Amino acid sequence: MDYRNRLILAPMVRVGTLPFRMLAAQYGADITYGEEIVDHKLLKCERLINETLGTIDFVERGTDNVVFRTCEEEKHRVVFQIGTSNASRALSAAMLVCKDVAAVDVNMGCPKSFSVSGGMGAALLTKPELIHDILTTLKRNLDIPVTCKIRLLKSSNDTVELARRIEKTGVAALAVHGRRVADRPRDPAKWGEIAEIVQALSVPVIANGDVFDYEDFECIRAVTGAASVMVARGAAWNASIFSPKGKLPWESVKKEYIRKSILWDNDIKSTKHTLKEMIMHYSSLELAEGKAVNKSNTLADLAELYGEQEYFSDVISSRLLQITVR
Model confidence over 186-245: pLDDT tens digits? 999 999 999 999 999 999 999 999 999 999 999 999 999 999 999 999 999 999 999 999
- Which of residues 211, 242, 273 is at a domain's end? 242
Average pLDDT over residues 134-155: 98
CB atoms within 10 A of CB 325: 6
Residue 1, domain member (yes or no): no
Q: How far apart are the C-alpha atoms of 269 and 178, rounded to whole Å?
A: 29
Which amino acids are annotated catalytic? 110
214-224 helix and 191-200 helix, angle to the nearest 10 degrees: 50
In single-letter form, the type of residue at position 11 comes to P
Model confidence at 267, pLDDT cuts 50, 70, 90, reads very high
The structural domain count of the chain equals 2
What pLDDT digit, counting tens, does each position of 91-133 carry? 999 999 999 999 999 999 988 887 888 899 999 999 999 999 9
Domain match, 201 and 62 both: yes
Note the residue count of the chain: 326
Q: How far apart are the C-alpha atoms of 267 and 320, rounded to whole Å?
A: 19
Domain match, 234 and 281 both: no
Residue 173, domain member (yes or no): yes
- Predicted confidence at residue 189, as pLDDT, reads 97
Domain match, 119 and 268 both: no
Pick the closest to residue 173 from 97, 227, 222 (CA basis): 227
Domain match, 200 and 303 both: no
User: Using alpha carbons only, how large is the chain's radius of gyration in Å?
Assistant: 20
Domain match, 115 and 262 both: no
Q: Interior CA angle at 172 toward 66 and 195, to 5°?
A: 110
Q: Does residue 326 register a pLDDT over 70?
A: no
Query: Whole-structure pTM over 0.85, yes or no?
Result: yes
176 SS3 class = strand
- Which of residues 225, 242, 259 is at a domain's end? 242
Query: In terms of residue numbers, what domain contains 294?
Result: 250-325
Domain match, 177 and 113 both: yes
Domain match, 149 and 206 both: yes
Q: How far apart are the C-alpha atoms of 222 and 86, rounded to whole Å?
A: 37
75 SS3 class = coil
Model confidence at 2, pLDDT cuts 50, 70, 90, reads very high
Residue 236, domain member (yes or no): yes
Residue 269, domain member (yes or no): yes
Model confidence at 62, pLDDT cuts 50, 70, 90, reads very high
Average pLDDT over residues 2-17: 97
- Predicted confidence at residue 239, as pLDDT, reads 98
Asked if residue 43 lies in contact with residue 56, where contact means CB atoms within 8 angstroms, the answer is no
**Percent of residues, the chain, with pLDDT higher than 70:** 99
Letter string b/e over residues 134-162, b meaning 16 or more CB atoms within 10 A of that residue's CB: bbbbbbeeeebbbbbbbbbbeebeebbeb
Q: Is 62 left (phi over 0), alpha (psi -120 to 50) or beta?
A: left
Sorted by sequence, the CB contacts under 8 Å of residue 286 that are 6+ apart come out as none
- Predicted confidence at residue 325, as pLDDT, reads 65
What pLDDT digit, counting tens, does each position of 279-297 carry? 999 999 999 999 999 999 9
- Predicted confidence at residue 116, as pLDDT, reads 86
Residue 2, domain member (yes or no): no
124 SS3 class = helix
- Which of residues 242, 272, 293 is at a domain's end? 242
Q: How far apart are the C-alpha atoms of 40 and 45, rounded to whole Å?
A: 9
CB atoms within 10 A of CB 222: 10
The overall average pLDDT reported for the chain is 96
Model confidence at 39, pLDDT cuts 50, 70, 90, reads very high
Pick the closest to residue 75 from 93, 90, 92, 55 (CA basis): 55
Sorted by sequence, the CB contacts under 8 Å of residue 159 that are 6+ apart come out as 150, 152, 153, 176, 193, 196, 197
Domain match, 167 and 306 both: no
Q: How far apart are the C-alpha atoms of 120 and 105, rounded to whole Å?
A: 13
- Predicted confidence at residue 296, as pLDDT, reads 98
**CATH number of the structural domain spanning residue 227:** 3.20.20.70
- Predicted confidence at residue 111, as pLDDT, reads 84
Domain match, 72 and 183 both: yes
Q: Which helix (H) or strand (E) holds 166?
A: helix 156-167
Q: Does residue 156 register a pLDDT over 70?
A: yes
Domain match, 258 and 317 both: yes
Count helices and strands in the chain by DSSP H and E runs: 14, 12
Domain match, 147 and 293 both: no
Domain match, 159 and 28 both: yes
